[in-house]
Amino acid sequence: MNKRCAAMAATALALALSLVACSGSEDDTDSTGSTASGRTVSHIHGLGLDPADQRLYVATHEGVYTPDAEGEPELVGTSRDDFMGFTVSGAKTFYASGHPSSGGNKGLIKSTDAGKTWKSLSLSGESDFHALDFAHGTVYGYDSTNGRVRTSKDGVSWKDGARVAAVDIAVSPQEPGLVLATTADGVARSADGGSTFAKGTKPVMAFLSWAAKDALYGIDTSGRIHRSSDGGSTWKKAATVPGGRPQALTAVDAEHILAATQTGVYESRDGGNAFTKRLAVESSDAH
């Protein structure tokens, strides 16, 4: 798999999953859309709110950003690395993956100071997790280097699961063994922690996020939000997020959603029925 474009699937899930975010570690151009002052971002790969202070964090192709006092994107720490998989696991505690600016794969990394600094936990130079979730004291990851779902209790030792052509994964907040994955056929289900997956069923989603038992959210390739109250068996459509093609989705709780598209990071506090812009994004078609 070409690592530059291993993630070209969300915009082309209808055309066989071309991920929405490609790492370009060998490309020296500033493809985040950042200006000289670093005030704009694009190529978003992950979103989260720190439960310590409810601050928004945005993982991008060149660093992790947070809105400053004026609502403008401010680089967190000093790293301009490509942050791919990204998830908030607790107060000031984040997991991520991706690529160093010098090239290669990060494996799994962890921050305990809200993204200011990062520590390598495992698989450095080997794995690039394009999707990460933390639930039930376990890290769940989709390793794009081998197309395999993997799990770890400590972030160091890993259990290999099934190979599946996926873009994103989501774990049930109630059942540790119930894992969903977005595929070209639709949402694929695993009842054994990712060891096996059934064939995906429609609707086709780009990204998933599961914050509460009766609040599983998906966003399709057009940016339309869908909500399921029964773990993905049935879905109800909500609003379409402004900005077109989706780049990331995070459900903070049963009614609170964050979504990134080509034009911004948007927030809903009513279950996806209405959205307001939290952060501007510079639109870019280059991935």
Supply the pTM of this predicted model. Answer: 0.88
Looking at residue 30, its pLDDT comes to 41
pLDDT tens by residue, the chain, 287 residues: 444 443 444 334 434 444 444 433 333 334 344 433 456 687 899 999 999 999 999 999 989 999 998 889 999 999 999 999 999 999 999 999 999 989 999 999 999 999 999 999 999 999 999 999 999 999 999 999 999 999 999 999 999 999 999 999 999 999 999 999 999 999 999 999 999 999 999 999 999 999 999 999 999 999 999 999 999 999 999 999 999 899 999 999 999 999 999 999 999 999 999 999 999 887 654 34
Q: Alpha-carbon distance 57 to 65, whole Å?
A: 6
Residue pLDDT, tens place only, 10-42: 334 434 444 444 433 333 334 344 433 456 687
Looking at residue 283, its pLDDT comes to 61
Residue pLDDT, tens place only, 156-173: 999 999 999 999 999 999
Burial 115-138 (b: 16+ CB within 10 A, else e): beebeebbbeeebbbbbbbbbeeb
Looking at residue 39, its pLDDT comes to 60
Distance of CA 172 to the CA centre of its chain: 16
Looking at residue 71, its pLDDT comes to 86
Distance of CA 18 to the CA centre of its chain: 15
